[in-house]
Structure 1
C-alpha cells in the first residue's frame, strides 16, 4: 500500500475502533442487509445477481439497495429487493458532478439522505460492493454492525469485518464473492438481472411492430451511439456508416432491417449525426432521450442484436442474452482486460482495432467493415434464439 493510501486508510482504521462488530451473520440471521452501489448504471447492473444470491441465503432477511437516484429503474420490479433507498454519493460515478473531497465529506456528515438512514438505528449487515474508504465510512455512519468491503481497490477494508480481494475478474462474479462471505452457496450466473412488466413488453412490441416490413423477416437492431465517457464512444459518422452497411447486408440476404438508436437526451445529437451519415433510405429511428430507461430495456429484450460501445447497453443486452457486438477503441487500450472484467462468456463479442506485430494498435477504432461482419455473424450464430417472433422471455436472464 502506497503512502497516500495509508494516509487515507489510517483514519478509517481509527474510526473503526469506535465501531466494533456487533453482529455475526454466520451465526445469526440478519434482520436486514444494506447493499451499497451508488455508482454508474453498468456497475449497478452487474451487481443485480448479488440480490438473488442473498435472497436464497437469507429468505426472511430484508434486502435494501442503497443506490443513486438515477439507478432506480434498474431495480424496479426486482423480486429480490425489498426496498430502494437513494444515496446520491459523490464518488465513483459520472452523475454527480462535484466529486471533490470537500463534497464527499459534506455528503457523509451533512446529507439529508444519510441522516434519514442513520435515524433507522443501524443495519445488521452492510456491503460496500465498490470497496472504498468512502463506503467504509458511510457504513459506519449508518450504524452497520457487520461490514463487508474490498481490499486492494480504493481502500476501506480496515473498517470492515470481512472483505474480498480485488482482482481482474468478471465484475458480476466479484459481487457474488461478497455474498459468499455471508455463506451464500446457491449462486446465479454472473449476468445482470432485469425484470420487466407485461405493459413494458407490450409497449416495446408495439414500437417494434411499427418498423416491421410485411411479408419479410425483419432483423431488429438496437444501436447505442453514446457512452458515459466520450473517449469510449465510436465516432458517430463511423457508427452511421456501419449501420448503413448492416442494413444493406441483411437486405442482400432477403431480410428487412429495422434499426433503433437508444440512449439519453445527451445522445440525441450523436444519434442525428449517425443517421445523417447512414444516408437516406436506411430504416433508422432514434428514440434517444424520448423513452424511459425501462422502455429501452424492453426494446433490447425483443431485439435480434445489439450494437454498442462499452456502456450500460452492453449489460442490458447481457441480461436478456441478446447477441451483442461491443465496439472497443478510444481510451480502451486493453480490450482483453476490458472483456475479462466487463464481458460475458456467451452472446457477446467485442471488436477492437487491429494490432501490429509489436502489439501496437494500428488505428484508434476498428474498421467499419469488421464491425459489420461481426454483427451479421452474431445474428446468424444465434438465429435459434429468436425464431421469427418477438421474445416472450419472462423475468430476467438469471
Structure 2
C-alpha cells in the first residue's frame, strides 16, 4: 500500500483549476472516490506475520488489506479483512532477539496472517459521501477503511488522507484571507456555488485554534507508573495516547497503546484456569504478567512535539500530517498539559465543516 509523494499543495495549480472553471474543493471532493488512494498494496491470508511486519516498516504504513484467492489466481482475489500494526505488535514478543528469547517467540513470526486478520471490517463504496465515511471512522475508532465494489478492493482511505483534505481547505482559506477586496473574496467563493454570506464568516469563526477541538479531560500518567497502570487508564477511557507528566503536570513524554503492546508477551497458549486476565478492546494479558510491572520511564517517547492552546488549528493539522504522528499534547504558556489533539479530533472537526458547507450550499 504505497502512498504517492504529493505532500505539497501548489496554490498556482488551485488557481489554474479555478480559472479553467473547474470546482476544486467541496463541490468535487464530496464522495469517497474523489479522495481515496487507488494504488493499494495487499497481502494474502497465507503470508507470514514476519513479512507483514517488514512490509509495514519499509512502506511506513500501519494497516494492510488482506485478500484471499480461492482459485489460486491473482485476478480473482477478494477482500477478507485488515491487519493493523496493533495486531502485529500483539504477536511479537518483547524478548525477540534478546537473551530471554524462546523458540515460541520466533515461531510466532512465521504464523500466517489468517490467525490475526480482522474480519468483517467496516467498509465503504466509491459512492459513499465523505461525511458518512468520516462518521464511520470516528464511531468505530478506525484509522483506515477499505473501499469495496462487491468484494473487490478498489481503494482505501486513511486518517492521513483526512489530514490531507484539511490541508487543501486551509489552502483555500489562506487564499481568501489574502484577497484585499471583499468583492473578490465573494467571487472566489461563488465559483463553488456556495452561499457567500454564510461561507465567508465560517473561515474566520470555525476551527480557529487548537483549543476549539482538543480533548480537555485528559488522564495523566507519571514516569514512575508501570504498564499495568497505563493499560488501566487506556482501557477505562478508551485512549490511545496518554501524556506522562511531572508533579506540576509539565510534559515529560507520551505513552501510546502501540508502546504498551510492544512490551507485552505473545500468548500462544490459553491462559491457565484461575488466572486473572486484563482483557479489553486494546489488551489481553494476565494481570500477574511480569512485563506489566515495567516502569513507563523505560518505554515512553520523550522529546514530544506539543502546541499551545493558541496554536492555529490548521497549523496543527499540517504538523500531524508532515511529521506522520497521531497526536499533539496541548500545553499552556507554563508548559502544563491542558489537553491533547488527535487525528480523531481532526476528523470530528471535518464533520463540522462539512455540515456547515452543506448548509451553506442548500
Which TM-score tier does this pair reach, normalised by the shorter chain?
under 0.3
**Which structure's relative contact order is higher, taking Cα pairs within 8 Å and 6+ residues apart?**
2
TM-score of the pair, normalised by structure 2: 0.25
